[in-house]
């Protein structure tokens, strides 16, 4: 009847409006999005799975977020599981399976182990059209907890479901049964796109821009089309107000041009003062994905003036704080921070780390209290 129809429509609208929407960088993604949607349309009748593969900082997660924003309203249920590599270590795969089930079914779903999670997916989601995105997958076991090997021709979800996996390692996808044609390899930005992204974060005044000549072009050449590097470089240069400062900083970047991204990103870390470095390293080692409330009080008690430090870290694109006041940090930047901690220790010994961040490191420290 009419009342029931209104209730159903209201529930559907409420479900769509409650979906997470990611704030993404629109520059340079249109051609990627078109190619990815074509790949997804090939498997329209059954369940389609594709991979997005490339080095850290190339924009894999941004593309996955853009797809999620556009596609999720058309599915009965959808879930974006971010940073699988790190979150498996922190939460465990059963907890991530439960999160997926709860997002789709809109209710609590405790899961004891991976096998139980797989069984529940088959029972409860076998007829549902779902969208699942697994971000930063490192190992095949992370895929096996959510989807059967593609060679087995078994389906756990309803017709029209889509799965998108981002990873740095193509072998993980191939071992799980994906073919080369089902894997997308995003390329870096071209010169014009690189300049656009750089200036979006550099905030250069018209007066200074007139003095800079070809300096911005030289800077984006050093970044080699890598979106993460362009964002961090742009944010770094936004603090420089004189042409001479730009020239000196460019020479520093050029000296690191042929090293890996870690060395390039470290330049921005070295530009922080001691207080900002302390807060940055704490976040990189302990607080990614955590609420800022607890460490904020801790830093205040230590006299580190965290409000100002966090402002600087955000302006330099080294961290983000989401709508729930949780810290976000790109995994390349997080890894750079942890490398700084390792390099500050003696003989790469966890016992001498200023911030032991993994369970194994903490156990090693507790076993050797001296």
Instruction: Output the tens digit of pLDDT for each of the chain's 370 residues.
Output: 555 555 545 544 444 444 567 778 778 899 999 999 999 988 657 789 999 999 888 899 999 999 999 999 999 999 999 999 889 988 999 999 999 999 999 888 889 999 999 999 999 998 999 999 999 999 999 999 999 888 776 789 999 999 999 998 898 999 999 999 999 999 989 989 999 999 999 878 888 888 898 999 998 988 888 898 898 889 989 888 899 999 998 988 877 655 667 777 888 898 899 999 999 999 999 999 999 998 999 999 988 889 999 999 998 889 999 989 999 998 888 888 988 888 876 545 555 556 666 666 656 656 666 5
Taking each helix axis from N to C end, the angle separating 274-282 and 331-343, rounded to the nearest 10 degrees, works out to: 110
Domain with 314, as residue range(s), is 274-356
DSSP for residue 291: B
Residues 111 and 225 in one domain: no
Nearest in space to 261 (alpha carbons), one of 54, 28, 111: 54
Question: Contact, 130 vs 75, CB < 8 A?
Answer: yes
pLDDT 10s digits, 9-21: 554 444 444 456 7
CA distances from 228 to 165, 233, 248, 365 (A): 20, 9, 22, 34
- Whether 146 is covered by a domain: the verdict is yes
Last residue of one domain, picked from the residues 212, 245, 270: 270
pLDDT (tens digit per residue) in 282-308? 999 999 999 999 899 999 998 888 999
User: What is the rounded CA–CA span in Å between residue 46 and residue 192?
Assistant: 39
Total number of domains constituting the chain: 3
Residue 173 has, within 13 A of its CA and on its CB side, a CA count of 26
Q: Which residue, 254, 270, 286, sits at the end of a domain?
A: 270
**Domain end among 225, 243, 270:** 270
Question: Residue 369 falls within a domain, yes or no?
Answer: no
122, burial (CB in 10 Å: exposed 0-12, middle 13-18, buried 19+): middle
Q: Give the per-residue SS3 of 90-123.
A: HHCHHHHHHHHHHHHHCCCCCCCCHHHHHHHHHH
Residues 261, 297, single domain; the answer is: no
In a domain, 286, yes or no: yes
Same domain? For 254 and 309 the reply is no
Question: Is the pTM above the cut of 0.85?
Answer: no
């Amino acid at each position: 009847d009419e009342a029931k129809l209104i209730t159903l429509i209201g529930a559907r609208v409420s479900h769509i409006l409650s979906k997470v929407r990611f704030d993404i960088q629109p520059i340079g993604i249109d051609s990627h999005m078109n190619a990815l949607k074509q790949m997804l349309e090939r498997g329209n009748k059954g369940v389609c799975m594709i991979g997005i593969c490339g080095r850290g900082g190339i924009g894999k997660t941004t593309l996955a977020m853009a797809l999620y924003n556009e596609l999720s309203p058309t599915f009965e249920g959808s879930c974006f599981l971010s940073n699988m590599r790190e979150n498996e270590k922190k939460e465990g795969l059963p907890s991530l399976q439960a999160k997926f089930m709860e997002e789709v079914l809109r209710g609590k779903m405790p899961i004891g182990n991976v096998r139980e999670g797989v069984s529940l997916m088959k029972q409860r989601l076998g007829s549902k059209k779902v969208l699942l995105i697994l971000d930063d997958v490192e190992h095949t076991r992370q895929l096996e907890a959510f989807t059967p090997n593609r060679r087995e021709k078994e389906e756990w979800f309803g017709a029209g479901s889509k799965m998108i996996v981002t990873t740095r390692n193509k072998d993980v996808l191939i071992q799980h049964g994906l073919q080369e044609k089902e894997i997308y390899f995003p390329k870096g930005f071209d010169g014009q796109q690189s300049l656009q992204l750089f200036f979006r974060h550099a905030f250069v005044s018209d007066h200074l821009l007139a003095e800079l000549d070809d300096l911005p072009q030289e800077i984006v050449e050093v970044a080699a089309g890598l979106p993460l590097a362009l964002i961090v470089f742009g944010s770094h240069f936004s603090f420089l107000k004189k042409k001479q400062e730009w020239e000196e900083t460019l020479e520093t970047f050029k000296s690191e041009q042929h090293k890996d991204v870690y060395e390039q990103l470290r330049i921005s870390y070295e530009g922080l003062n001691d207080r900002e470095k302390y807060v940055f390293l704490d976040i990189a080692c302990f607080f990614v994905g955590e609420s800022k409330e607890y460490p904020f009080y801790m830093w205040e008690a230590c006299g580190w003036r965290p409000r100002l430090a966090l402002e600087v870290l955000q302006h330099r694109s080294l961290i983000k704080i989401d709508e729930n006041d949780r810290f976000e940090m790109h995994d390349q930047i997080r890894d750079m921070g942890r490398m700084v901690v390792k390099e500050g220790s003696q003989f790469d010994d966890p016992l001498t780390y200023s911030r032991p961040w993994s369970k194994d490191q903490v156990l090693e420290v507790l076993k050797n209290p001296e």
